[in-house]
Amino acid sequence: MDFSLSDDQRLLKESVEQYITRDYPFEKRRAHAALGDGFSREAWAAMATLGWPGAALPVAYGGSGGGAVETMLMMEELGRGLVVEPLLATAILGGGLILGGGTETQKADLLPTLIEGRLLLAFAYTERQSRHDLHHVELTAVKHGAGYRLNGQKSVVLNGDSADMIIVSGRTGGDVRDRSGISLFLVDAASAGLGLRGYATMDGMRAAEINFDQAEATLMGEADGALPLIEQTIDQAAVAVMAEALGIMAVINDLTLEYLKTREQFGQPIGKFQALQHRMVDMVIAAEESRSLVMVAAMQADGEANVRARAVSAAKVQIARAGRLIGQEAVQLHGAIAMTDDYQLGHYFKRLTMIGQLFGDSDHHLRRFAQLNG
């Protein structure tokens, strides 16, 4: 595999890095997270102007024509800034589903406004009983006139309380755990029959619980066969948040190394002590091992289903393990300062912990990897 960057990829990475360094200091991130939406609409508009929502969407709809590698480069830099704006929910999940499963009319209507930053999307697919099984869908969709009516509940809908439109997985046939009979629907967030409760998550982001009671919906694409697209999109989103984790790990390691160089004990910097040096080396090695597997997963994200799934699951297990090691070691090496809300480290560790659970925890991905290789 060729891991060298093209000129366009290098420019994308540099543009995000410059924006985070110049316009997105940590205190601004805290201020954005405290707003009612959990992010800044002004910052989101600026990101749209820079072309980030369309980085992995086709030129025909106003995007840049990139793919999973471009998303990885962008998300790693966003991880360094701990950005709270809804690129994951809107562009990666929502945009990926519309691109892969929408009709030509739906793509032409929705993707340009998404890329311009004027449309916020959320994907409602998780149910309380489903855990990480994407085919466990109890929400029902019944034909009603030219559209459908949805009944059921969805949980932990990322940025669901700020979305203009919600993409919903619903059952149009089969039993609750059948792989067939699952369809995707578009629901206006202002629709009657939609009960929504938003809340802040532990990492400073936002999610929502949504109840559908005869909510009006429009079928997205064809009925009954949406599961493969859902699986592909969730895998691609997993690659995106794993890339974000790489950026977070890099910041945690930098903060910890700087602390070891400046914190003195017994008349010398604590970084002089060999035991602490060894622990720091373990943190750096864990981050580099993670980078290798995430790069492979990004290269396979648009490929054949089983190959993609194996690469994603292998990387997801590594990210969860490395994230736990790096975060816990950093807290220990920082001592009491790491436990204060004013210090950056704790916020990065919280997001890293959440990424370990998003789109399947390590147990889920270990099982999937074993099944795919069985």
- Tens of pLDDT, residue by residue over 182-207, are 999 999 999 999 999 999 999 999 99
Amino acid at 294: V
| Residue 362 token pair | 């390590």
pLDDT at 39: 97
Amino acid at 360: G
pLDDT at 6: 85
The CATH architecture assigned to 121-224 reads Beta Barrel (2.40)
d(CA 333, CA 343): 14
Q: Where are the strands (E) in the chain, listed by range?
A: 121-124, 140-144, 147-158, 165-171, 182-188, 194-200, 206-220, 264-265, 268-269
194: left (phi over 0), alpha (psi -120 to 50) or beta: beta
DSSP string of 300-318?
Answer: HTTS-HHHHHHHHHHHHHH
Specify whether domain 7-115 bears CATH 1.10.540.10.
Answer: yes
pLDDT band at 264 (very low <50, low <70, confident <90, very high): confident
Please check whether residue 167 is in contact with residue 96, taking contact to mean a CB–CB distance below 8 angstroms. Answer: no
Helix axes 227-262, 274-300, angle to 10 degrees: 160
d(CA 137, CA 151): 11
Q: C-alpha angle 112/114/116, rounded to 5°?
A: 70
User: 49-90: per-residue pLDDT in tens?
Assistant: 999 999 999 999 999 999 999 999 999 999 999 999 999 999
120: left (phi over 0), alpha (psi -120 to 50) or beta: beta
| Residue 231 token pair | 């699986």
pLDDT at 49: 95
Domain 228-372 sits in CATH at 1.20.140.10
**Overall average pLDDT of the 102-119 stretch:** 97
User: 145-174: per-residue pLDDT in tens?
Assistant: 999 999 999 999 999 999 999 999 999 999
d(CA 368, CA 233): 16
Which residues are bridge partners to 225 per DSSP?
A: 182
Average pLDDT, the chain: 95
Sequence ranges of the domains in the chain:
7-115, 121-224, 228-372
Examine the pLDDT at 219 and tell me if it is beyond 80: yes
Amino acid at 106: Q
Examine the pLDDT at 1 and tell me if it is beyond 60: no
pLDDT band at 239 (very low <50, low <70, confident <90, very high): very high
DSSP string of 87-120?
Answer: HIIIIIIIHHHHHHHS-HHHHHHHHHHHHTT---
pLDDT at 213: 97
Please check whether residue 105 is in contact with residue 241, taking contact to mean a CB–CB distance below 8 angstroms. Answer: no
Burial 278-307 (b: 16+ CB within 10 A, else e): ebbeebeebbeebbebbbbbbbbbeeeeee
Burial 210-219 (b: 16+ CB within 10 A, else e): bebeebbbeb
